[in-house]
């Protein structure tokens, strides 16, 4: 195991020249900020690069410009943008949005974010969400041993290798800060994996003592209480699927340690003939839509997952059995995919009514508008009829669903649904290329990349 970890750490630990360039850039920006006139007090370097837990090739620098807490939100925004633009003069930059707009761009090959924040007494007293971040930094720099930095790198790469690492809402994974807290709590990479392999349906981790029962306050498979703000679950974005994947991967790695858990092997997409052959065994349909451009991608992913579930529920309410559903997007196109028991239902369905002795409900049951082709009759003490279905095609039902939801969807996804349409298997196959081909191959194989 030691030899394996040494080999992996050689690949993932930033090289000296990388660290030197990083430090030089941060120092030069800090000097600029210190010399600038303005309402700011100082700059803080935060994130994994500041704590020495980042992976090789991770070129992200999170720099926070700190302001007095009495400054208005509008002034914070204006000053933050002004300073950010000054720092990026002569370099590529753009305005991005969190709770407040901020400037991000590229300087000397590094992805730099200049974020305004308030100086507050504690993470719990934050005035904006980003005010906690400097406290995360201070907490981990104080609590984490230098030797644990490499343990963190191993765990980050392990989770990255199985596809369960990252702060973006697209992947519903565990953010870097959460990974660092797990290592702080369990001490080493090995001990963390052993603990993960024994996690149950729900796990609650409290690194610092808190007054209340945090497990009841959060609906999530993993509740990792933020030690600088006990009202926050650091693992709130982690989905049940990703949580279970972490447990499975930990168990399998401990049984048979291998480098393949740390580095994703290139997935060989199936030839189109094999995909066609596999789809002949399935009843498959999808909804194609456009990824909206008028909203932050992170805000869209939650809407996409809700829409995936809503369409599945609608199919089930119309008597289809949804065996499996999946979502794919390259943030240009969206595919909501459904594997059904059938694509066409029988024209007539049997409808079980109330007990024959329940006169009022029997009367209401028979008064409903529908075309009865047989019955009513009594069967095991209940009224039974056979009625003609209004619609028997999954395609037609999804088409109607798309039209109905266009009117009610929130801003953002609503734009993407403008040209949404049901896709039969033949049309799905026309899109079988690039990242979608890899995703669809993984879907059809039905196994994790580390298996």
CATH number for the domain that contains residue 354: 3.30.70
Give pLDDT tens digits for 303-338.
Answer: 899 999 999 999 999 999 999 999 999 999 999 999
Choose one of 142, 160, 193: the last residue of a domain. Answer: 142
Could you tell me the pLDDT band of residue 412, with boundaries at 50, 70 and 90? low
Same domain, 310 and 420: yes
Question: pLDDT value at position 215?
Answer: 61
Asked if the structure places residue 20 within a domain, the reply is yes
Choose one of 101, 116, 142: the last residue of a domain. Answer: 142
Same domain, 241 and 216: yes
Asked if the structure places residue 2 within a domain, the reply is no
Question: pLDDT value at position 418?
Answer: 84
Same domain, 321 and 427: yes
Question: pLDDT value at position 217?
Answer: 76
Same domain, 37 and 160: no
Q: What is the mean pLDDT of the chain?
A: 91
Structural domain that includes position 152: 144-261
pTM: 0.87
Give pLDDT tens digits for 152-164.
Answer: 999 999 999 999 9
Give pLDDT tens digits for 337-368.
Answer: 999 999 999 998 888 888 888 888 888 888 88
Same domain, 311 and 424: yes
Could you tell me the pLDDT band of residue 149, with boundaries at 50, 70 and 90? very high
Same domain, 308 and 433: yes
Same domain, 188 and 59: no
Same domain, 137 and 148: no
Number of separate domains in the chain: 4
Same domain, 375 and 425: no
Q: Is beta strand 283-290 parallel, antiparallel or unpaired with respect to 333-340?
A: antiparallel
Same domain, 354 and 377: yes
CATH number for the domain that contains residue 121: 3.30.460.10
């Amino acid at each position: 195991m030691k030899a394996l970890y040494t080999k992996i750490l050689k690949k993932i630990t930033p090289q000296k020249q990388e660290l030197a360039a990083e430090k030089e850039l941060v120092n030069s920006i800090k000097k600029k900020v210190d010399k600038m006139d303005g309402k700011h007090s100082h700059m803080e370097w935060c994130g994994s690069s500041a704590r020495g837990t980042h992976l090789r090739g991770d070129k992200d620098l999170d720099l926070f410009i700190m302001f007095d807490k009495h400054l208005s939100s509008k002034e914070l925004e204006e000053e933050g943008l002004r300073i950010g633009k000054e720092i990026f003069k002569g370099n590529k930059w753009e305005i991005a949005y969190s709770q407040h707009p901020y400037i991000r761009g590229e300087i000397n090959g590094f992805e730099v974010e200049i974020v305004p924040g308030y100086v507050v007494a504690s993470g719990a007293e934050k005035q904006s969400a980003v005010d906690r971040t400097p406290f995360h930094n201070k907490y981990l720099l104080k609590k984490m041993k230098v030797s644990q930095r490499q343990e963190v790198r191993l765990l980050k790469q392990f989770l990255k290798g199985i596809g369960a690492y990252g702060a973006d809402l697209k992947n519903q994974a565990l953010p870097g800060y959460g990974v660092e807290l797990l290592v702080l709590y369990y001490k080493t990479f090995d001990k963390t994996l052993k603990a993960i392999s024994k996690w149950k349906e729900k796990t609650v981790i409290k690194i610092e003592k808190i007054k209340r029962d945090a497990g009841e306050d959060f609906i999530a498979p993993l509740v990792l209480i933020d030690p600088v703000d006990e009202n926050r679950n650091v693992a709130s974005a982690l989905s049940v699927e990703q949580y279970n994947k972490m447990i499975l991967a930990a168990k399998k790695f401990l049984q048979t340690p291998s480098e393949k858990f740390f580095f994703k092997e290139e997935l060989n997409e199936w030839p189109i003939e094999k995909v066609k052959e596999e789809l002949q065994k399935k009843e498959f349909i999808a909804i194609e839509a456009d990824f909206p451009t008028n909203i932050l991608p992170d805000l869209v992913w939650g809407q996409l997952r809700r829409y995936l579930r809503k369409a599945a529920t609608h199919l089930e309410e119309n008597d289809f059995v949804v065996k499996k559903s999946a979502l794919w997007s390259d943030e240009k196109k969206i595919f909501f995919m459904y594997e059904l028991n059938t694509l066409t239902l029988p024209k007539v369905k049997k409808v079980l009514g109330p007990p024959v002795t329940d006169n009022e409900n029997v009367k209401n049951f028979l008064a409903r508008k529908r075309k009865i082709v047989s019955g009513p009759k009594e069967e095991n003490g209940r009224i039974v009829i056979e009625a003609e279905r209004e619609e028997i095609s999954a395609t037609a039902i999804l088409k109607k669903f798309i039209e109905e939801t266009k009117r009610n969807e929130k801003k953002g996804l609503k734009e993407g649904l403008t040209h949404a349409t049901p896709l039969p298997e033949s049309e799905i196959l026309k899109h079988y290329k690039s990242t979608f081909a890899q995703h669809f191959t993984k879907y059809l194989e039905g196994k994790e990349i580390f298996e």
